[in-house]
Amino acid sequence: MEIGLKRGFRIALGDIIIMQLQLCLVFFIFLLVITSHYFGQTILHGGVKYRATGGGFVERHVKFAENYRMYFRSHFTKGLKLMMPQLIYAAANCLSDLWIATTNSTTFMLLTASMWFLVATSIFAPFLFNLSCFEWKKIVDDWDVWSKWIKSEAIAKILNC
């Protein structure tokens, strides 16, 4: 609104479109999930103090396994926890469509679109904002590590139990 009043509403609308194309909303949710996770951990466990690393900003590509370990608790588990009620709600909606023809799938999508966006952002944002993630060789290497991890014997044993 402020940009619209200062520079005009056409420029403000253009700025909003550019921000959406730059995935600003996804990055905002990414930072919000990180902040809420560590704020919750601090309240739960206490012990906040500044620990100087002296490293400054480091720009490097993080491999899949390290990225997964860093963001597992803060992003992936929260994304999966948010996905479960959505899947249950979708299944209940499908079952109700079989018995009652009044439920509309458009209504269902409008009701759950924001939550699905939050789920997708929580799960995929750590990989999307990985530095140098668009270098093809590094993408292929990360894919190989991920596929080896998925096909590992430990995962197969867990799934067979």
- The pLDDT score that the predictor gives to residue 112 is 87
Per-residue pLDDT of the chain (161 residues; tens, 9 = 90+): 677 778 888 888 888 899 888 888 888 988 888 888 877 777 777 665 655 665 555 566 677 777 777 778 888 888 889 899 988 988 887 777 665 555 567 777 888 899 999 998 888 887 777 655 667 787 778 778 777 776 775 555 555 54
- Whole-number Å distance between alpha carbons of 146 and 158: 17
Contact criterion met (CB below 8 Å) for 62 and 131: yes
Question: b or e along 5-41 (b: 16 or more beta carbons within 10 Å of the residue's beta carbon)?
Answer: eeeeeeebeeeeeeeeeeeeebeebbeebeeebeeee
- The pLDDT score that the predictor gives to residue 84 is 92
- The pLDDT score that the predictor gives to residue 15 is 87
Contacts (Cβ under 8 Å, ≥6 apart) of 103: 93, 96, 97
DSSP the chain: -HHHHHH-HHHHHHHHHHHHHTTHHHHHHHHHHHHHHHHHHHHHH---------------PPPHHHHHHHHIIIIIHHHHHHHHHHHHHHHHHHHHHHH-TT--HHHHHHHHHHHHHHHHHHHHHHHHTSTTTT-HHHHHHHHHHHHHHHT-HHHHHHHH-
List C-alpha distances in Å: 103 to 26, 65, 71, 143.
30, 43, 37, 40
